Amino acid sequence: MDVILRNALINGGLTDVGIEDGVISQLEPKLEGRAKLELDAGGCLTVPAFVNGHLHACKSDWRSSLLALEPNFDFTDMSARFAGIARVKRQYTAADVLARAETTVRLAVRHGTCAMRLFADVDADAGLQALEGLLQLKTKYAGTLELQVAAFPQNGVFSAADSTTELMTQALDMGTDVVGGIPWLEPTVDAQLAHIDLVLELARRYNKPAHFVLDDTDDPTSRTAELVAARVIELGMQGMVSGTQANALAYYDDAHAERVIRLLKSSGMTIFSNAHVALVTTAQRHQPAPRGHTRILELLRAGVPVATAQDDIDNPYYPFGRNDLLEVAQYMAHLAPLAWGAQLNQTLAMVTHVPAKAIGLEGYGLSVGCKANLLVLNAPNWFEAIKLQCEKTFVIAHGKLISSSQRSTTLNLP
Ligand SMILES: [Zn+2]
C-alpha cells in the first residue's frame, strides 16, 4: 500500500483510506498493515478535493502589471478597469501568463483544489499568448493536477476584431480542452446567435465541451441563457455545455424567469453562479442595491445543477480571491442563501461533485476505485469548516500528499 489515511470522517463514519497507484483501493474502519506513508486525519471531515470549474487564470494578479504601466491608476472606475486590462493584455507573454497563473494554481492546491478549468483570453489584445501560457502550465502539472484550458473570446466575436474567429480555431488546433463563449457581450441578438452558433459549431467539430459566460449583467433584455439552452436542446448537445452567471435571470419578471429555468433544466447545463463576483461588479445603480446574482434557489428547486467557482482573482472584475473554494462556498451560503441546517450541505456539492460532473472529471469521489484526490479539513463537519474557515490539513492528489497545513495561535489571556 502506498498511503493509508487513518481516522478519516467520511459520510458520518470513521474510515481508513488505503491508496495504491493513485487510486482509492480500500475503505475499512481499520486497515491492517502499514503503508509507505501513514497519515492521521484525526477524525476530521474528509471530502473529495475541491473542483474549480471556472477561473480566468490568465488575468489573475493583474494589479502589479497595470501599476507598472500606470502608477496612479483609478481602480474605482469600471470602464477604466476594462481599458486597463486591454493594455495589460497587449503586453502578455506566455511566460508572464504562466508565472501568474502558476501562483494562483499553487494557492488553489494549498486550499484543497486539485482540478480546475482555466480560461485563457483569446482575442486581438491577448492573441494566443494567454492560451500558450496556460497550456504550458497544464503540461507542467500533468499527472498531479487535472487542469483544463478553455479558449475564451473575452471581447466577443462579432463586436471585436475580425481575427477572433481565426484565433479561436487556431486555439483548438493547439490542443485547447474547452471552447469558451460570451455571447451576451455582442451588440445585437443576431450577433449573439451567430456567436453561440460559432462556439457550438467549434465544440462539435473538435468534439470538445463548451462553456459560456451568460448574461453577466442587470439588463433584463439580455437573454443569452435561454438562447444557448434552446440551441443546445435543438442540437442534442446536452451534457456538453455549461454556463456561468446568468445574472439577468434575476431581473426578468417571474413568468419569464420560470420559462428560462425550465429551458435550462432541459438543456442539461450546469450553471456556475460565482455570486461573490456579482456582488462587486454587476451594476449597483439603484437603491436598494441588488446583489446582482442569478436565481440560485429557484434553479436548484427546478433541478438545474448549480456550482460555484472562484472565477476571478485580483482582476478588473473582482479585487480579492485566495483561490479557496471554502471561502467561495461561504459566500454562496450567504448569497443564495443556503445558510441554515441541511441546506448548507448544498454548498459542499457546489464545490465538489457538481462541478466535477460539469467539467467531466472521471473517477471523482470517495469510493473504492476512484482517483485518490482527497482533502482533509480540520473540522468535525462542513458547518464548522464553513463557520471557522478551517485549515486544510492534508491535500492528496493522485495518491500523493501535495499539501499539508496547520494553523497555530497562542492566546495570552486570563
Ligand atoms: Zn468568469
Task: Tell whether 69 and 172 lie within a shared domain.
Answer: yes
Please check whether residue 385 lies inside any domain of the structure.
Answer: yes
Residue 7 sits in the same domain as residue 94? no
Domain count, the chain: 2
Q: According to the model, what pLDDT value does residue 281 have?
A: 86
Specify whether 115 is located in the same domain as 239: yes
**Ligand 1 geometric centre to CA of 119 (Å):** 8
Other CB atoms within 10 A of residue 322 CB: 16
Please report whether residue 412 resides in a domain: no
**Are residues 338 and 276 located together in one domain of the fold?**
yes
Count CB atoms within 10 A of the CB of residue 17. 26
**For the chain, how big is the Rg over CA atoms in Å?**
21
- Cα of 30 vs centre of ligand 1, distance in Å, is 44
Q: Count the neighbouring beta carbons within 10 Å of the beta carbon of residue 161.
A: 14
Q: Are residues 124 and 168 in the same domain?
A: yes
CATH number for the domain harbouring residue 390:
2.30.40.10
Distance 122 CA to ligand 1 centre (A): 14
Among 358, 379, 395, residue at a domain's last position = 358
Strand pairing category for 374-377 and 46-48: antiparallel
CB 332 within 8 A of CB 275: yes
Tell me, in angstroms, the distance from the centre of ligand 1 to residue 311's CA. Answer: 5
Are both 213 and 232 inside the same structural domain? Answer: yes
Q: Are residues 44 and 110 in the same domain?
A: no
Q: Let me know whether 15 and 79 are in one domain.
A: no
How does pLDDT run across 303-312, given as a tens digit for each residue?
999 999 999 9
Tell me, what's the pLDDT at 285? Answer: 72
The Å distance, Cα 56 to ligand 1 centre, comes to 6
Closest by Cα among 290, 324, 315 to 85? 315
| Angle 98-100-103 from CA coordinates, rounded to 5° | 105
Q: What angle do CA 172, 168, 223 make, to 5 degrees?
A: 115
Name the β-bridge partners of 60.
Answer: none
pLDDT (0 to 100) of residue 48? 98
| Residue 318 DSSP class | B
Please enumerate in sequence order all residues whose Cβ is within 8 A of that of 409, keeping only pairs 6 or more positions apart, or say none. Answer: none
Cα of 4 from ligand 1 centre, angstroms? 38
Q: How far is the CA of 294 from the centre of ligand 1 (A)?
A: 14
Q: Which domain holds residue 398?
A: 3-48+365-404
Q: Which residues contact 348 (CB under 8 A, 6 or more apart)?
A: 47, 329, 382
Residues 13, 154, single domain; the answer is no
List Cα–Cα distances, 47 to 140, 181, 262, 307, 314, in angstroms.
26, 32, 31, 16, 28
Query: Are residues 64 and 319 in contact, defined by beta-carbon separation less than 8 angstroms?
Result: no
10/366 Cα distance (integer angstroms)? 8
Q: Say if pTM beats, i.e. exceeds, 0.95.
A: yes
**Alpha carbon of 212 to ligand 1 centroid (Å):** 9
Largest alpha-carbon pair distance within the chain? Answer: 70
The Cα-based distances of 337 to 240, 310, 352 in angstroms read 28, 18, 18
Q: Report the 10 Å Cβ neighbour count for 407.
A: 10
Is 280 part of any domain? Answer: yes
Compute the distance from residue 54 Cα to the ligand 1 centre, in Å: 6
CA torsion, points 54, 56, 57, 59, in degrees to nearest 10?
-170
CA angle 123-324-74, nearest 5°?
A: 50
Residue 287 domain flag? yes
Indicate whether 413 belongs to any domain: no
The CATH number of residue 260's host domain is: 3.20.20.140
> Is 414 part of any domain?
no
Residues 194 and 127 in one domain: yes
How far is Cα of residue 18 from the mean position of the Cα atoms in its chain? 29
- Measure 213 CA to ligand 1 centroid, in angstroms: 6
Q: Is residue 409 part of a domain?
A: no
pLDDT for residue 287: 85
Residues 6+ apart with CB under 8 A from 236: none
**Rounded distance from Cα 55 to ligand 1 centre (Å):** 6
266 and 380 belong to one structural domain: no
Q: Examine the domain organization and report whether 42 and 56 are in the same domain.
A: no
Residue 243 Cα to ligand 1 middle (Å): 10
- Separation of 373 CA from ligand 1 center, angstroms? 25
pLDDT score of 290? 86
Q: How far is the CA of 293 from the centre of ligand 1 (A)?
A: 13
Q: Is 183 exposed, middle or buried (0-12, 13-18, 19+ CB in 10 A)?
A: buried
pLDDT at 159: 73
382-410 residue pLDDT tens: 999 999 999 999 999 999 999 999 999 99
* Residues of the chain scoring pLDDT < 50: none
